[in-house]
Amino acid sequence: MEAPLNAVKPVAVPPRVPRSGQGSQRGAMEPVDRIEALPNSKAESILAAAKRTFLAAGFGAVSMDTIAREAGVSKATVYAHFAGKEELFGAVIGRECERYFARFSAGELDPRDVRASLTVLGRRFLELLLSPDSIALYRIILGEVTRFPSLGEVFWRAGPERQRVQIEAFLRSASASGTLALSDTWLAAEQFVSLVRGDIQLRHVLRLAADADRRGISAAVEGAVSTFMRAFECHTAPSRT
Amino acid sequence: MEAPLNAVKPVAVPPRVPRSGQGSQRGAMEPVDRIEALPNSKAESILAAAKRTFLAAGFGAVSMDTIAREAGVSKATVYAHFAGKEELFGAVIGRECERYFARFSAGELDPRDVRASLTVLGRRFLELLLSPDSIALYRIILGEVTRFPSLGEVFWRAGPERQRVQIEAFLRSASASGTLALSDTWLAAEQFVSLVRGDIQLRHVLRLAADADRRGISAAVEGAVSTFMRAFECHTAPSRT
DNA sequence: GTCTATAGATCGATAGAC
DNA sequence: GTCTATCGATCTATAGAC
């Protein structure tokens, strides 16, 4: 029993990109929208560095020294803006939850072609779910929800719940128009999301699949939509096309 | 921008149960099966303490001092059995993956009643998935797969893949007997698992639902089985009962 | 506000006695 | 093998100059 039963070896901290000072090469020829485009204040630099390092390595593996260095400021400046490491972490994660999941929308769908609309919807959902930052955020939140219990509700309300509401709204319209036979649209939305997600999200989170696998996304979405339509397509009144 | 946008507060380290010395009150009137029943060696005590603390608080929040104290040994003894914290963590997680997922089985199912069999199968799967240790293990692995890349494959092969193989075997037999119309049994197994899981596992992981919700499990399984049967039940040849 | 420098605590790991 | 005691590194957080 002395030898470990499984060879599970850690890796070193993520390779660090040396930054010469604070200003990066951005900010010269980009449109000046000023709102969170580039870190124009020290607070934004700190938040950006904290986001980058936390999402890449997790809460426990990142030190305030690293964040300060990555942000191009001193550690005292970090503490001048944020009360501590945990407050900074909470601010970063809360903000990222809002930022990422605000991109999802169930709008601009053709209610006359439910299959095509569900395919578009599933693809939007899965592309958001498999984006590198979304995967990293998912890892962090699940790993730190024990230490930060409020993370669970922050994440749930910003992401899954909001998506579910939008998807259910579309399913309800499709059900009202007689194209789908749904007795419980809330459950149906959960099942549609579950079918689309399948195991591809978990495989990405576990680093068993690389990102940007467009064909994998298409195949997953089409398989899910096909099964969903088989289960709920209404055959009684095809409503003449 | 100085104030955190979201109130995400951490909690203190888990409340510690003071242990007077090493021997607990167990081990006196229990059957002596000796094989991992009670920690009869220091190595087992260390592994048990490491499992308990790691699963409860995560890799970064647990120190070797805590593990030694919980195990009732000195820190030097811990290092006499395990080369370091990371090796101990790998040994614990690898062992727990094997222990937990070995409990799942797709046997003892009645192939003549596919709906009932799928219900039993789904319930077994979901009860395993929602057990407190399984939830904690899931949190740890997803949170630490960045630091321990091999955890992803260890977990996948011990859990999801093995379950999928067993479920697919049953689906194949049901498909061969003409009860289900499945063109791709591997995909069907993934979709069945996804339907059963739904969002209830995530809600448990995020601490939004308490465990031991038996009625919630039954409702989730029956909703999943109903949808799965609607999609894949074979109506062409009911194969006289 | 921002910096340098450092305090104070904790952690992982080890030396040496038994 | 097991213990006590401790080392050196690192981490969070702060004091004080500017």
Amino acid at residue number A157? R
Do A9 and B148 meet the contact criterion of CB atoms below 8 Å apart?
yes
Asked if pLDDT for residue B21 goes beyond 70, the answer is no
Do B192 and B155 meet the contact criterion of CB atoms below 8 Å apart?
no
The protein residue nearest nucleotide C16, judged by CA to C1', is B76
Judging contacts by C-beta atoms under 8 Å, the chain B residues touching residue A41 are 1
The predicted pLDDT at position A109 comes to 92
CB A199 to CB B193 under 8 A? yes
The predicted pLDDT at position A237 comes to 55
More confident residue, B13 or A79: A79
- Give the residue from A98, A146, A148, A207 with the most B CB atoms within 10 Å of its CB, the best one to mutate: A146
Least CB–CB distance from A139: residue in B2, B143, B208: B143
User: What gap in Å lies between CA A2 and CA B43, rounded to an integer?
Assistant: 8
Judging contacts by C-beta atoms under 8 Å, the chain A residues touching residue B41 are 1
Calculate how close chain B gets to A133, using CA atoms only, in Å.
13
CB A94 to CB B5 under 8 A? yes
**Nucleic strand D near CB of residue A73 (< 7 Å):** no
More confident residue, B168 or A111: B168
Residues 136-155 of B with CB under 8 A from A: 138-155
> For B106-140, how does the pLDDT look when each residue is reduced to its tens digit (9 = 90+)?
888 988 899 999 999 999 999 999 999 999 999 99
The DSSP output letter for B4 is -
Question: What is the average pLDDT across B51-79?
Answer: 98
User: What gap in Å lies between CA A211 and CA A79, rounded to an integer?
Assistant: 36
At B78, list the tokens.
């811990």
The predicted pLDDT at position B29 comes to 38
User: What gap in Å lies between CA A54 and CA A151, rounded to an integer?
Assistant: 15
* B75 CA → C13 C1’, Å: 9
Residues 60-79 of A with CB under 8 A from B: 60-61
* B77 CA → C15 C1’, Å: 14
Please, where are the H alpha helices in B177-213?
A: 185-197, 200-205
**Nucleic strand D near CB of residue A85 (< 7 Å):** yes
Q: Which residue has the tokens 């059963």?
A: B196
Asked if pLDDT for residue B241 goes beyond 70, the answer is no
> For B41-64, how does the pLDDT look when each residue is reduced to its tens digit (9 = 90+)?
899 999 999 999 999 999 999 999
More confident residue, A56 or B110: A56
Chain B 128-147, CB < 7 Å to strand D: none
Q: Which of B223, B147, B161 is nearest to A9 (CA)?
A: B147
Calculate how close chain B gets to A124, using CA atoms only, in Å.
19
End-to-end CA distance of chain B: 70
Judging contacts by C-beta atoms under 8 Å, the chain B residues touching residue A146 are 56-58, 61, 139
CB A206 to CB B90 under 8 A? no
Residues 91-110 of A with CB under 8 A from B: 91, 93-95, 97-98
Asked if pLDDT for residue B147 goes beyond 80, the answer is yes
User: What gap in Å lies between CA B153 and CA B136, rounded to an integer?
Assistant: 18
- Give me the total of CB pairs closer than 8 Å, taking one residue from chain A and one from chain B: 218
Burial of A170 (0-12, 13-18, 19+ CB in 10 A): buried
**Nucleic strand D near CB of residue B46 (< 7 Å):** no
Closest nucleotide to residue B88 (Cα to C1')? Answer: C12
